Amino acid sequence: MLLKYGFGFAEEAEQVERAILSVLEQGYRTKDLQRNETKAHTTKEMTEAVIQALA
């Protein structure tokens, strides 16, 4: 939201949102979002996965 509304970077914000959705679709979850059938990942692992999805 900060990228989109605070800085006016709508396209970049959309890219980040798509990367996050891609990572979530791959089953990545932090403990607070973990489902019973998924492994909990650290915030570092989640961040690295999102960065990879952006590349």
Q: What pTM value is reported for the model?
A: 0.83
Q: What is the mean pLDDT of each run of 10 residues along the chain (55 residues)?
A: 94 96 92 82 94 95
**Integer-rounded Cα radius of gyration of the chain:** 12
Q: How many helices (H) and strands (E) does the chain have?
A: 2, 2
Per domain, the residue ranges of the chain are 2-54
- C-alpha 55/C-alpha 40 separation (Å) is 23
Beta bridge partners of 40: 29
Q: What is the pLDDT of residue 2?
A: 94
